[in-house]
Amino acid sequence: TQGLNAYLVNPVVNVSLTALRPVVVDVAGEVYRPGPVQLSSLTTAETQLNVDARITQATTTPTLSSALVAAGGIRRTADITSVIVRRQLPGGEVQDISVNLWDSISNAGQGNNLVLRDGDAIFVPRALADAEIDPALVASSSIAPDNVRVRVIGEGVVQPGEVQVQPNSSVSGAIAAAGGPNADAALGEVRLVRLAENGQVEEQKVDLSSLVDTYQIQDGDVILVPKKGYLVGIDTVGRALTPLLGPFGAIINLFNLFDDN
């Protein structure tokens, strides 16, 4: 700058900050894509977080919820009443901050969506069996995953196979994503097969003939739509259950699968 002294006298220089460097945090626990995530920092009002379309333009601050979205969303087993944020303070001290995101969801956003700092570590614990969290409400929230995968099988569906649906979808919604039921579908005999947290396979009869469907699907569910007056072949159902149970467990559980009791 000294070389310009002959040309500039008392120059006025304005410096404006257009953006801060991204904030990098680690996310672990009950999320779909654990690991480090990069979030946009506080920027100008015109800048949006490039994390998820559900985050509005007003959200220009790296928050806990935006980090969970960037990590693929929370799993249905997540305990969002006590999410832990571990933060490094000046002097080497470590601070653990517990955040109850369930309050944010159940009270229409009137909760604590913590603003994150670079280097924060987030841990989402697994929920206990008696946790008082409404899974339907969580599935409709902004921290849920965009889609979950379920398998729709049987001779009563137009296009059997794996489908991706929104996490708050019902059994009938998953069937619709597979092309819908065909004319021969036994809608009163639909079965929902699910792998429980304890490793056991649960099956439930779902009667869709009354057009009432209150069953919310979960990631990894198997939906069986049989044909009227016909028992779906053992081979078809066995292939669907083999990833859950193994070949022998699948055959054993076929007997329970078609037991009306």
235-253 pLDDT per residue, tens? 445 545 555 554 444 444 5
What are the backbone angles phi and psi of residue 123, rounded to the nearest 5°? -125, 125
Domain 23-139, CATH class in plain words: alpha beta
Give the three-class secondary structure for 151: strand
- Same fold for the domain at 23-139 and the one at 148-257? yes
CA–CA gap between residue 167 and residue 220 (Å, rounded): 11
Give the residue extent of every domain in the chain: 23-139, 148-257
**What is the average pLDDT across 51-76?**
72
pLDDT at 47: 39
**What is the average pLDDT across 89-95?**
90
Residue of 258 and 127 predicted with greater confidence: 127
Establish how many alpha carbons lie within 13 A of residue 104's alpha carbon, considering only the half-sphere containing its beta carbon.
19
Amino acid symbol at 16 = S
pTM of the model: 0.69
Domain 148-257 has CATH 3.10.560.10: yes
